[in-house]
Structure 1
Amino acid sequence: MSETRTGIETNPFDRDHYDYSSWFFWVEASEEQKAEQLAQQEQFLRVRPDSSIGERCFISPLAAIQVETLTLGRSSYISGHAYLTGTLLTGPNCTINPFCVIRGNIRLGHSVRIGAHTSMLAFNHTITDPDLPVFKQPTSQRGITIGDDVWIGSHVMVLDGITIGDRAVVGAGSIVTKDVPAGAIVAGNPATVRKWRVPELAPPTAASVPSSGPVPSGGPVSSGGPVPSGDPALAEQLRAFDQMVREQAEEVLARSWDAATGRYVDAPGHAPSVRAHCDAIEVAAYLTGDVPSQLSREEHVAWLRGLQDPASGMIAELDASGHPGPRVTDLSVDDAHYHVLCVGYALEVLGSSLPHPIHAVDELGADGVIALLDSLPWRGSPWRSSNVADMLGTAVLWNTRAGTPHSAATAAGLFGWLHTHVDPRTGMWGADDPRSGRLETVNGFYRTARGSFAQFGLPLPHPERVVDTVLAHAQDARYFAADRQNACNVLDVAHPLWLAGRMSDYRQQEIRQVAARLLADALSHWRPGEGFAFAADSGTGRDPLAETPGLRGTEMWLAIVWYLADLLGVSRSLSYRPAGVHRPEPAGSLTSQ
């Protein structure tokens, strides 16, 4: 800002005070300066209509904001001479200080502080052809994810594909080439763990940490830190799988593009659907580091954002021609529940967000959430009930980010109900069905826990009982014989074992045995040029629809492969990390307000 500070005598060497000390702006700036800043933000949003800027944000006119999309959480600022390109999504209270370089697809949680002269470069030049100049070769993009309450010092370099866990600290001058565990303090070139800001998240010792190292007390996320390298033969097998699926990614995506409707279908011959579009975005993020090439990033974002009903926040399914069906005005349409997840997360992967809160959930308040959960058939259909719980938790996430009036109350109602209704003998919600065994209970646990404890990085009530229940279920040949597996059933085993394993080393050897068996099966399910089918090939044509490769199966099995590989300590052999709905990192915090 070129004007002088209010009430302070002019200092000829401090004419751009707020551009360099941006944290003073909303406290000290004049009303004229505040009005000028808001007018500049409005002008920017007219040029970048898919962007959003929260309340009490400051963006220095001396910064170079050359982004495709900017989502800036409230009370965040970007100081002078910062240089931004690509897409940036931040939570509230984030700071980008002078001379920072922020480029590519980058996501920050809440309360991330980035020191001056730090660079985050979420892309790389490829150098596969030694005879072609580097500048003519394509770039790769995997993105950078920073958790909540992270302090990154000055002159730090963060490279593409890095995840920095919640409450971590990166020392000044560090070069971050590997994921940073939650709660760690790292420094150096390359940055390594020097001590722990959150001691209870530290592994006991490198020698005693099982594969992928459990993180106590429900800590997030990263498999960084002192992790054993795992089985070298399996690691090599995963690298070969990774290379193969990346080479075939464009073919898989193009196969599900329906030119007649201009929309994605799960598989050729299917009807267009909202989920298919979201799955395409996540598959592309995993395997190409970019958006599906059938549309530009701006077109993907604009179409998805345009699906949401402004009054309810809900999203209808498409009709046969690829157009949105009748408005969804409340929570009564079961098919719309998953859209709260898949559209919101697809937009997050794209560096954008839903344009409206989920008003239909926010209006429930705590009492309404409890009444809704009480009305569900947990004892007869826990899987169906869990779909609603997952939707509620994800709506709480989006509403918490938006700061809606009742987001805290709905969160309290949800977690209060879950804590008081969990079965301490099984760690689950609901009861087993004698006809299907533990299937619905375990599958319902995954959806419920994903949308609540996993999504917000909170500890499970009974993690060891979860392990007992899931390991027993994984022995049921009706669902886990190689020719009877489907993505839902295997994911609903892999993720709970992974999540509970972050909190305890209980029965780790048995968990790894199950993971090894399921991973070997999963790798065999890929169909060249087509991807994964939702269900394994039975050899009998038992379920032709489920056994046809499609986007849903491809996205889910890719996530499954990563989780099982991480349980075995070899996930770093994969070039991708799940994003979107199946991301391993918590997506938000209930204390961010």
Structure 2
Amino acid sequence: MGTDFDYSPWDFWSVASEEEQDRQHAVRGELNARPGHDVADGCFVSEKASVHNDELVLGPRTYVAAGVYTTGSVRAGRDCSINVYTVVRGRVEIGDAVRIGAHTSLLGFNHVMADPDVEVFRQPLTSKGIRIGDDVWIGSHVVVLDGVTVGDKAVLAAGAVVTRDVPSGAVVGGNPARVLKWRVPREQPGPARGGPAAFADAVRADAVPVLDRCFDGEFFVDRPGAARTIRAQCDAVEIADLLLGTAPPQLPADLQRHRLRDWQDPETGLIGTLGPDGTQTTAGPGFTDPDAGYHVLAVGYALDLLGSALPHRIRLLEADLPAELTALPWGDRAWHAGHWVDILGTALHRNGDGAEELFGWLLLNADPATGMWGAPSLPDGRLQIVNGFYRASRGTFAQFGIPLPYPERVIDTVLAHARDPRVIRPDRQNACNILDIAHPLWLTRHTGYRAAEAEALAATLLNDAVKHRVPGQGFGFHPSRTPPGLQGTEMWLATIWLLADLTGTADDLGYRPRGVHRPEPAPPRPARGMTIGAPVSGSGSTRHGSS
């Protein structure tokens, strides 16, 4: 066989001699005789390539040049080219029309190195696999590591070291690879046309219609037909502040301020729920009422935005705080435990109290391996600890402006969690789960650790998030399952800002959260006397979307 074809086989079937073509037919026949091999008609596989696969599937008109080394399970679609001296090993799936430059390595496996007392080559291998989409151009000397997915129409620049997923339509380069620009503008984070600025213009134009839709003439409701809730009043205030810079125009601002202030119990400082007729129920003792607990956050921040404040001190604990914190269900319900830490931290901040005991416990009990509290569970993976971390850190380290104990481990944990399709697949996303990824990455961005990976993830999630909007109605909390409402709209708008800031496009939005989901620490508050009240460990709360 001619050496020119071995190294440049692209014109083989149009210019090669009959003898050369017969020889290539024989090569294809020899390969297809092996178990798990299916090389389509019209392919070319150089006899100078080292093909040692358990499974090899090549679609029509796919070319494998000289010096290529393949092992494991390799599946490629039609019209692909694998240039000279490329290595494709492990479990690798390649779409249609993919061009791979010379001296590139796609390594769909990895070595375990968990035990430092055992030589690496004696430890087992793992394989998550590599997935390459359609119409992807991979330059020369690129390295793609195990577990990476490359979206359709992406470009991997020459010399890139790709350690995490590449969004569809992105051009990435560097070590580690990061998004340099966009080959396909419609895939760029933000709406299909105009980017974040156009998205912000659209949601700002929708602000009054969204609020009108959720106003029953006297109170705000989360969505038409829903019951009246105190949270809905607060979400309306947050949305109006974000998009209009004013109080919701459906009611006089003074009325909204007085209503929120009057709902606080002067004895306990807590805020009970609303009954069906709009009358208020009394909050349970301490923080045993989950809605009343979240009202510490929602009402307090809504009053901030309305230029006011809670009139009364919030009663907290007279029990042993470290013991109460230890008793929270960190082992199997870390979100639940983080929920109460968020409330405790916020109440301490609102009261102007010191939080030394709370921070002392959190610092001593953070897991150095994950940077978080609690442990992953088999049913949920890392969901509980990541979501619990957001709540616990929001009300403490973020709200008080105190550095986290293990920020790099937090990034590792969040990025690992973000590979779980149960959480990030667009049709399974909900506002809590994506916010609880975005905020920890934003809070730790100053480290620069794995910044390119965090930015690429943020770009992908941002592109998904803006598509959840329903014009004229806002966002559903779980867009594929729940109709648009105030809670979903407020949370998604805040999440979109965090993701946009991670990608460097937040200024184009023209808004910045100032309420519950504000990025900056809350301003210091004057002390308001001693803290008294009941312990928190008796709470029977379960998670219902209060991130």
What is the TM-score when the length of structure 1 is the normalising length? 0.56
Picking from 245, 263, 266, the partner of 2:203 is: 245
State whether structure 2 residue 357 is matched by structure 1 residue 413: yes
In structure 1, the residue matched to 2:483 is 548
Q: Distance in 2 between matches of 1:375 and 1:586?
A: 28
Q: Distance in 2 between matches of 1:368 and 1:303?
A: 35
Q: Distance in 2 between matches of 1:579 and 1:500?
A: 19
TM superposition shift of 1:589: 4.4
In structure 2, the residue matched to 1:508 is 451
TM superposition shift of 1:264: 1.1
Contact 2:351 2:527 in 1 (8 A): no
In structure 1, the residue matched to 2:427 is 483
Q: Distance in 2 between matches of 1:321 and 1:496?
A: 39
1:482-507 Cα shifts (integer Å, max 9, x gaps): 110000000000000000113x0000
Picking from 513, 521, 543, the partner of 1:578 is: 513
Contact 1:284 1:291 in 2 (8 A): yes
State whether structure 2 residue 348 is matched by structure 1 residue 375: no
Distance 1:518 1:450, change over 3 A: same
In structure 2, the residue matched to 1:429 is 373
Distance 1:345 1:328, change over 3 A: same
Alignment of 1:44-193 (within 5 A): none
The residue type paired with residue 518 of structure 2 is R
In structure 2, the residue matched to 1:394 is 346
Q: Distance in 2 between matches of 1:271 and 1:229?
A: 47
Contact 1:533 1:549 in 2 (8 A): yes
State whether structure 2 residue 407 is matched by structure 1 residue 463: yes
Contact 1:230 1:568 in 2 (8 A): no
1:501-544 Cα shifts (integer Å, max 9, x gaps): 13x0000000011001000000100001100000122xxxxx4x
In structure 1, the residue matched to 2:7 is none
In structure 2, the residue matched to 1:519 is 462
Contact 2:305 2:515 in 1 (8 A): yes
Q: Distance in 2 between matches of 1:330 and 1:496?
A: 29
In structure 1, the residue matched to 2:72 is none
Contact 1:311 1:329 in 2 (8 A): no
1:92-129 Cα shifts (integer Å, max 9, x gaps): xxxxxxxxxxxxxxxxxxxxxxxxxxxxxxxxxxxxxx
Distance 1:438 1:238, change over 3 A: same
The residue type paired with residue 393 of structure 1 is G
SS in 1 for 2:328: coil
Alignment of 1:178-217 (within 5 A): none
TM superposition shift of 1:592: 8.7
In structure 1, the residue matched to 2:287 is 331
Q: Distance in 2 between matches of 1:591 and 1:437?
A: 41
In structure 1, the residue matched to 2:84 is none
Distance 1:229 1:247, change over 3 A: farther
SS in 1 for 2:254: helix
What RMSD over aligned residues (CA atoms) do the two structures have, in Å? 2.0
Q: Distance in 1 between matches of 2:399 and 2:468?
A: 28
Segments of structure 1 that go 5 or more residues without pairing to the other structure are: 1-227, 401-406, 538-542
Contact 2:189 2:459 in 1 (8 A): no
In structure 2, the residue matched to 1:274 is 230
Contact 2:222 2:486 in 1 (8 A): yes
The residue type paired with residue 205 of structure 2 is E
In structure 2, the residue matched to 1:254 is 212
Contact 2:429 2:478 in 1 (8 A): yes
Distance 1:248 1:586, change over 3 A: same
1:541-583 Cα shifts (integer Å, max 9, x gaps): xx4xxx2100000000000110000000110001110111000
State whether structure 2 residue 451 is matched by structure 1 residue 474: no
In structure 2, the residue matched to 1:531 is 474
1:298-344 Cα shifts (integer Å, max 9, x gaps): 00100000010111111101001111112444222222110000000
In structure 2, the residue matched to 1:60 is none
Identity of matched residues, %: 50
Equivalenced residue count is 343
Q: Distance in 2 between matches of 1:230 and 1:347?
A: 42
TM superposition shift of 1:371: 2.4
Q: Distance in 2 between matches of 1:463 and 1:327?
A: 36
Alignment of 1:296-307 (within 5 A): 296-307=252-263
Q: Distance in 1 between matches of 2:514 and 2:279?
A: 27
